Amino acid sequence: MVLGRFLRSGTSSKQDPLFKIVKKITGLTPNDLSLYRRVFTHTSMEKMDEDGKRINYERLEFLGDSLISTIVAAYLFHQMPQKNEGSLTLMRSKIVRREFLNKIGAELRLISHLSSNVPKENYGRDVHGNMFEAIVGAVYLDMGFEACSRFVYDAMITPHVDLSLLHHRVLSHKSLLVDWFQKNKLAYCFDTFREDRKGEKNYYVAKLWVDGRLVASAGGTNKKKATEKAAKRGYYHFQHRIKEIKTKH
């Protein structure tokens, strides 16, 4: 029995514009439109239900995140029968990374249907991935795991997941470099500091020093982004010498 039958608080109407929107996005016929209204409601709307609970996509986002991880894990388990737990975990991380989920959400144009009191130009990119997770959660509650899995396959895995390409993708250039520096007994340092720039509220610069020599520098809106960008530039500096450990990251 579909879990959504126990959780529905609304009904579906083919005349409701949301019905057509959801069907076009998911390729599935929705039953409970109230779930999808939550998907397309931003926290800034400050909506409440009759029980005083907030109406927005955040709880569905939490659920969808776990479902995507589970569906991708099952996919990898069957597609990579010779790989151990560590390899499967790393590959799953490459697929469910925030950047990738943001891409899927943006392609589905979910944000175009979002009700919000915040101008769209003020959103961060993560809103796309958050909404994708939320609609996955809504599909699960509305139609069950099989339909939810089919949607994730159709929207994400089948058109976008190429295991041969992902095998060579680096998740963290900093992690890769640190491993290589330590293995080769090279002295290194990431020097990160805030820099005042006109028109930039938060801007950080990271510099990578190796054996007392400046190898790369980069900037970003926080320390983590600046450091990773500097590490990526440093990686290209040492790329021809790093190949043997690349697949570990």
**Are residues 120 and 94 part of one domain?**
yes
Q: Is the full-model pTM beyond 0.75?
A: no
- C-beta separation of 102 from 129 below 8 A: yes
Which residues lie across from 220 on neighbouring strands? Answer: 204
Q: What is the average pLDDT score of the chain?
A: 88
Determine the pLDDT at residue 76: 97
Across the range 183-204, mean pLDDT stands at 86
Backbone angles phi, psi at 109, to 5 degrees: 55, 40
Cβ neighbourhood burial of 123 (10 Å; 0-12, 13-18, 19+): middle
Q: Which of 139, 166, 193 is the last residue before a domain boundary?
A: 166
Determine the pLDDT at residue 34: 94
Look up residue 191 and give its two tokens: 């020097």
Annotated catalytic residue 133: yes
The rounded percent of the chain whose pLDDT value lies above 70 is 91
Question: What does the pLDDT look like over 209-235, one tens digit per residue?
Answer: 999 999 999 998 899 899 989 999 998
The tally of domains found in the chain comes to 2
Write out the residue range of the structural domain in which residue 221 sits: 173-248
Look up residue 51 and give its two tokens: 């029980």
Q: How confident is the model at residue 7 (pLDDT cuts 50, 70, 90)?
A: very low
Specify the higher pLDDT residue, 47 or 106.
Answer: 106
Active-site entry in 16, 49, 51, 133:
133
**Are residues 190 and 96 part of one domain?**
no
Q: Which of 105, 134, 166 is the last residue before a domain boundary?
A: 166
**Are residues 103 and 29 part of one domain?**
yes
* CATH code for position 202: 3.30.160.20
- Residues in Cβ contact with 197 at an 8 Å cutoff, skipping those fewer than 6 apart: 203
**Are residues 178 and 162 part of one domain?**
no
Least confident of 26-30, 135-139, 220-224, 236-240: 236-240
Active-site entry in 65, 142, 228, 244:
65
Q: Which of 166, 201, 231 is the last residue before a domain boundary?
A: 166
9 pLDDT higher than 80: no
Q: Using the structure block, give the residue that is written with the tokens 């930039």.
A: 200
176 pLDDT higher than 90: no
